[in-house]
Structure 1
Amino acid sequence: MGVDVPTTCPRRSLVCFCSCFGRRGGPPPSFETASGPDQAALRTTLAAHGLRLTGSGTDPLERERRMGLDHPRYLAMECHFERTNPWGRVMMTGTASAQVCVDAGTEDGPLSHGSRWRLLHLLGPVLVAAFANSPLLDGRPTGHRSTRQLVWSRMDPTRTLAPALDGDPREIWAEYVLDAEVLCVRRPDGLPWTAPPGLTFRGWLRGEGERPPTLADLEYHRTTLFPPVRPRGHLELRMIDAQPGEGWQAPLALVSALLDDPAASDACLDALEPLATPSYRDRHPPRTELWHRAATLAVADPQLRRAALACFALADQALARRGAPAARLRTALSAIHFSSRAARRHISSDSGAAPCASQGPRRSRSFVYLL
């Protein structure tokens, strides 16, 4: 693995990068075997430049929110988001996530793409709550266990809200892509990529842009959409806060166990159906009341705590059925018990303020992006 970092960094710099863990067939390696050498190389290279890895969904330090990239994509992105509010800049310069990716599923049967689509969207707020890890921003407690999720909920709704659940996921996603505003228009070298305000891809197809769009434009447009569950040939879960140390292994194990075991998938869907309230259909995640509770209270919320415990128990059973070691998952489950009790004590003694204490540590084809 090659790692490129700046030769010099201003003091108190925040350097963001992306790495991935995955497999494409063959027997699954252990997480430690597959990721250990990469992470060791990364830590060594960063240490040589006076940098170190940390695991938090938001940058907890107070610093100027300044973009260090000059690629036209990111300049256009910054311009697009800042037309409405400052939260896009906060997202780009001060948030990080663990993005778990799984196969999209089969055409039909217990592991169908339709079942996975629904299950993952219902599982979303549980993942937010169970792995909330961003109580600070700019050096201060925010009153939310997942401040990062709150930031995403306040950005451009045409590209950050979840699509509808009812119907064929492929048709729903196609409509979503067409109705999302265009974030950037690629142009020759030296020209800015800034897109006209309010231009959707559907409008671009109908002649509202400066030139006719190409298939490459459509493909690129899809990479600028950021709903909680994003189809990319596989399904990408974007709602999980970055985790400290090796903590990213727990959401990866949890999600893959629930999706790859038909019995666990069915039982999990039954356990999560109470979360599919009418408010979901009225407002789309992450702007629903349930997702707001997940970001604010995490597993201190009784309904989300029950759902999280049920999901962890089902995943534990699924891992046991396939002979996979589940010690790390059980450790994470114990952490949920502990943080939930601590959070309830904090809330009762602090006039309802959400807890901001740090949280303890927390295998079908799955991989994870570390952002």
Structure 2
Amino acid sequence: MIIIIDYIVLNTIINQQCNKSNQMIGINSNLSNRSRSSKSWSDEATNDNEINDETTNRFNFDSSNLSSIKNSSIVHSYSQIQDKYRCDQMILEHNNGPIDYEQIQLPVPTTKKFLTDEGLVVPGINIELRNKLFASSEYHGYSLERRIESMGRCTSDMSLHLLGGTQRLLVKNRHQHPTIVVLACLTEVQGAYAICAGRILASKNIRIYLYIPPNSNPTQHYFIENELKLFRTTQGIITTNVSELPRSPVDLILNGLDAANYSDSVLFAKPWYRDIVQYCSRLQASVIAVDPPLDGGAIECKYSLVPLLPLVSMSSKNVGRIYLCDLGFGQKVFQHLQIRYASPFGAKSFVALHDN
């Protein structure tokens, strides 16, 4: 019992001595910190005085010495730094005289001209000159298949533009992917244009319904048969019955049914054509006429897409707003017919035309 009490007393004495020693150490550390801080203050003051004296001796900012400062190498190096521009801003201004807006000139003056949004003049041509240009293109190696592919791709680009661009086809918007109805005749090249455009759009996961007239034989024209064969590689739906077409919602209609060689009276004599006209008017969807006839056809269109150069007799009152398609023909195709040609398309594959 005595041993336990002595141990407790001894432990208490040791703790008291430790507390006193810690207090003495804290006091000494505070004193040393104060001495260090006062020393650093004095050192800083001394250094500041030295720097100020050195700066005063080295530089003289009087007006008489400003010219020497401007001519120094440091100022000269900073003046050589140029502004940085984006790639779309590094374009030199045109200083070589007035701009030539009539870059397309025909050997014979035309009776009608169109204007692009940029102000370029696009002359109208007659159907005979257009056929000669197509013949010249085939002579230089641009086959009918190439023309159909170019026209179909341009039509698909314009369709995507009208649908809202890439935003409509994002993965997060897959639940509202667009639906397009394609109308195609099987006897004219306009039908091949429309089928090709439908195939390209179907490859982008767009729902495509292709309507072809009943009792038609696609084997009569090899280019129609080839386009149908390619279209069947997609998930697009082919039908000959108007009742199988979607009622709503339909975002766009591509009309390759009204060809220049057909008249409204001939087509209206066929029941299926009357049904398709009623179907389009009931939907109230935007219609793109692919290379339409001059009167626009019985199916009212909001837009028209024409290849190469517009026809003289075309008017926006009949065919809606006119767009021109770039077929990618080279200069020699036009030079063969004494036509001076410069592309009005810029970076796009189609361009809007306005009546002059």
Normalized against structure 2, the TM-score is what? 0.26
Normalized against structure 1, the TM-score is what? 0.26
Q: Which has the larger radius of gyration?
A: 2
Q: Which has the higher strand share?
A: 2
Higher relative contact order (CA 8 A, sep 6+): 1
